[in-house]
Amino acid sequence: VTVYLVGAGPGDPGLVTARGLELVRRCDALVYDRLVSGELVAEAPGDALRIGRADLSQAAVTDLLIRLGRQGLDVVRLKGGDPYTFGRGGEEALALAEAGIQFEVVPGVSSLAAVPGSAGIPITHRGTSSQATIVSGHDPSELDFGWLARSEGTLVFFMGLAALPAIADGLIGAGLAPDTPAAVISQGTTSEEASVAAPLGEIADAAGTLAPPALVVVGQVVSLAPKLRRREAHESERALAG
Ligand X SMILES: C[S@@+](CC[C@H](N)C(=O)[O-])C[C@H]1O[C@@H](n2cnc3c(N)ncnc32)[C@H](O)[C@@H]1O
Least distance to ligand X, CB of residue 83, Å: 7
Nearest residue to 44 (alpha-carbon basis) of 15, 13, 69, 12? 13
Q: What is the DSSP letter of 61?
A: H
User: H or E segment at 202?
Assistant: helix 200-206
Distance CA 122, CA 131 (A): 11
Identify which of residues 129 and 187 has a Cβ nearer to ligand X in the complex.
187
HEC-encoded secondary structure of 223-242:
HHHHHHCCCCCCCCCCCCCC
Identify which of residues 32 and 86 has a Cβ nearer to ligand X in the complex.
86
Distance CA 123, CA 233 (A): 22
Q: Please, which of residues 23-82 interact with ligand X by CB under 6 A?
A: 35, 80-82
Q: Find the length of the chain.
A: 242
Looking only at the bridges linking them, the beta strands covering 214-218 and 181-186 are: antiparallel
For ligand X, the nearest residue by Cβ is 81
Distance CA 112, CA 10 (A): 9
Q: Please, which of residues 200-229 interact with ligand X by CB under 6 A?
A: 212-215
Least distance to ligand X, CB of residue 72, Å: 28
- Residue 116 binds ligand X (CB under 6 A): no
- Residue 92 binds ligand X (CB under 6 A): no
Residue of 49, 64, 99, 159 interacting with ligand X (CB under 6 A): 159
Least distance to ligand X, CB of residue 85, Å: 4
Site size toward ligand X (CB under 6 A) is: 22
Least distance to ligand X, CB of residue 21, Å: 17
Phi-psi region of 60 (alpha: psi -120 to 50; beta: other; left: phi over 0): alpha
Identify which of residues 86 and 103 has a Cβ nearer to ligand X in the complex.
86
- Residue 11 binds ligand X (CB under 6 A): yes
Least distance to ligand X, CB of residue 137, Å: 7
Residue ranges binding ligand X (CB under 6 A): 10-11, 35, 80-82, 85-87, 110-111, 115, 158-159, 185, 187-189, 212-215
